[in-house]
Amino acid sequence: MNDSRTVQVVRTEIPGLLKVTLPVHEDARGWFKENWQREKMVAAGLPDFRPVQNNISFNVERGTTRGLHAEPWDKYVSVAAGEIFGAWVDLRPGETFGAVFYSRIGPNQAFFVPRGVANGFQTLSDNTVYSYLVTEHWTENSRKDYSYVNVADPQLSIPWPISLDDVILSSADREHPLLSSAKAVQPQRIAVLGQNGQLGREFVRLAERDSRIVLFDRSQADFQKQGFATSINLEGFSHVINAAAMTAVDRAETEPGRSEAWRINAVAVAELAAHCAAQQVQLIHVSTDYVFDGATPEVDESHPIAPLGVYGQSKAAGEQAVLAHPNNFVVRTSWVVGKGNNFVSTMRRLAQQGVSPNVVDDQFGRVTFASELARGIMHLIDSDCEPGIYHLQGVGQAMSWYELACDVFELCGKDSNAVQPLSTKQYLAQNPQRAPRPRNSTFNARKFEASGFVVEPNTELLKRYLDDEYAVL
């Protein structure tokens, strides 16, 4: 038994399959252990596992063998009495498909088994009690997503301590397919809301090569409809990416626009966050530089929010609703450029038409290309990053809208002198109904960079964008 007073978590050769050593306290009466203690185990390196069902298998005779079953949920397996020989086979698609790991397990050990890894065991003593926690409620419908592999498959070469000729094994388990015929367990899906925006359209492109991404249109997720979130079926989903928003900054200052902004950017987001939390699905919510007042030249994730207008206020409220649930992400970005109408595509059109625009020269920031934003969000998901707030913005020198417009004209082969500088004060005098905008929209994105994500330089991305016909469609 383990004399240590601390939980120990060790990785195995199968990605995500974790061996847990538990402190067991013994005396003349017997022993005691904390079989599952979320706070200690997460601190030791286990994922933030949130089980919803506990199952117990009592096995009368030594040699009882069960498996190998891969179910569509995470499991935490342990022994309450006796000893077992556990075996696991990776049935997830990819390079590790077919990888095998095995170990003896007594009361002082447990294993975290990720979704898609087949689990099996053989009892090594009579009256063995095997316990497992799972992250999904079992239903008859769950069976369609199961996968199996035969315990006797010679390709696996599992060294069962007791010969399979002498064990108790169900007829169903004896008939499971060999690894060569086993069905790969597909990963959980990722829902994307807001497919018609610039970021949403980028996810439409990503979905062509990533089968996990499922796009929801307005008929399936209407943010203007009260209670819409509970109608979204999230069974089989691990994440929801909310790319939907009311982004008409000037309209948000009008009476009808104010109600629309608060409904879509705050109230609906709170409903969505509550639904995701109830379904144990991570929410990645996209926010904006408008939650800041722009008084500070560069801000990091800890900088106090201080929105100037209704749009920023509604987005700030949405952020707080998302962060009220500890497992969620808020990704702040700025000056997004993708497929559709945006500042860069507008400047290109004006350059091609020979128009000389007046452009504000005292508001500063960085362009963020939708392709990089979408790629960064997928990185957060695939790298198992810590939840919280992240800033993601293009890489390069901060510049004004005027300087950006000049660059666009030059790259389009036009004279940048055609672009005329204009102060914010002059702009507002000419357009008194315009909403206030932050003077500075420059982020410190080192937290995102520390996660291992590398953004391509904006200079290269801008050239590529201007050469890409899709950008203006």
Query: Which residues carry out catalysis?
Result: 69, 132
- What is the spatial distance between Cα 272 and Cα 279, in angstroms, rounded to a whole number? 11
Q: Are 107 and 202 in contact (CB under 8 A)?
A: no
Supply the DSSP symbol for 367.
-
Bridge partners, 97 (sequence order): none
Q: Are 33 and 25 in contact (CB under 8 A)?
A: yes
Question: For the CA atoms of 312, 316, 322, 328, what is the dihedral angle to 10 degrees?
Answer: 90
List phi, psi (to 5°) of 86: -100, 145
| CA-based torsion, 339, 342, 344, 345: positive or negative | positive
Q: Is the peptide bond before 124 cis (omega within 30 degrees of 0)?
A: no
* CA distances for 10 relative to 44, 156, 354, angstroms: 9, 23, 64
> Please, which residues have CB within 8 angstroms of residue 402's CB and are 6 or more apart in sequence?
359, 360, 361, 419, 421, 422
Cβ(24)–Cβ(35) below 8 Å: no
β-pairing, 64-70 with 147-148? Answer: antiparallel
Query: Angle at the Cα of 21 (from 18 to 24), degrees rounded to 5?
Result: 155
CA distance linking residue 54 with residue 184, whole number of Å: 26
Distance CA 221, CA 200 (A): 13
| Rounded CA separation 311/333 (Å) | 14
Contacts of 291 (CB under 8 A, 6+ apart): 305, 306, 307, 312, 315, 316, 319, 332
Distance CA 50, CA 47 (A): 9
- DSSP labels for 399-448? EEHHHHHHHHHHHTTS-GGGSEEE-HHHHHHH-TTPPP--SEE-B--HHH
**CA atoms within 13 Å, Cβ hemisphere of 245:** 26
